[in-house]
Amino acid sequence: MSTILMILYFCMLCANASGYQNILEATKFSNVSHRSIDNVEIYYHGTSDADSKIRLSDINNMTSSLKSYYSNSQKCIDLSLHVYLVDFDTLNDREVATFVRWKSKSHKIDAIYDATVAPSGQSSIFISTKYDHNKTSKILAHEMAHYWQHTRCISQSEKEADDFSEFYISGKT
């Protein structure tokens, strides 16, 4: 019995070690900008003040679009949001991004929304630096839809996240 308890205890330590520690240690953020958007504290961990401000403004616009896309939704969980800009290879390094549930050996991701190992009261988006402004915006809109689905207690849907992303980008042009 005590052996089982010991194993359980060590597994809990394993779970802690498989949080964001590795990916945050592997990435240098030269700028962290904050903005309160629709009563949500949003922190953008990026490379420059100018870029972070542009992205926070983008997130502000996405929030307005999400309100019309999910017009009947009600907030059910309060979570702050931390957005981390990380290198594509770092994000896809399985020793580093230990919290990602990889679908196959060759599975690669451009971004991820996660609240499973985020500190209490927080959620996170990790997004790769690989793409230009517009593609990054499109990817971020997809992940923001996942944040919205989670905090509105709507089931996670890839299709709706893709549809919202298209809706947001087409509304901008």
Binding site for Zn ion (CB under 5 A): 158, 161
Residue nearest to Zn ion (CB): 161
Helices 133-151 and 49-69: crossing angle in degrees, nearest 10, is 50
Closer residue to Zn ion in complex, CB, 79/161: 161
**Could you tell me the smallest distance in angstroms from the CB atom of residue 142 to Zn ion?**
6
Question: Which amino acid appears at position 173 of this protein?
Answer: T
Rounded least distance, CB 69 to Zn ion, Å: 15
Q: Which residue's CB is nearer to Zn ion, number 33 or number 144?
A: 144
% helix, strand, coil for the chain, step of 5: 45, 20, 35
- 3-state secondary structure (DSSP) of residue 60: helix
CB of 158 to Zn ion, least distance (A): 5
Element of type H or E holding 41: strand 40-46
The Cα 58–Cα 95 span in angstroms is: 31
Looking at the Cβ atoms of 87 and 162, the one nearer to Zn ion is 162
Q: How far is the CB of 118 from Zn ion (least distance, A)?
A: 16
**Alpha carbon of residue 60 to chain centroid:** 15
Q: Which is nearer to Zn ion, 48 or 156 (CB)?
A: 156
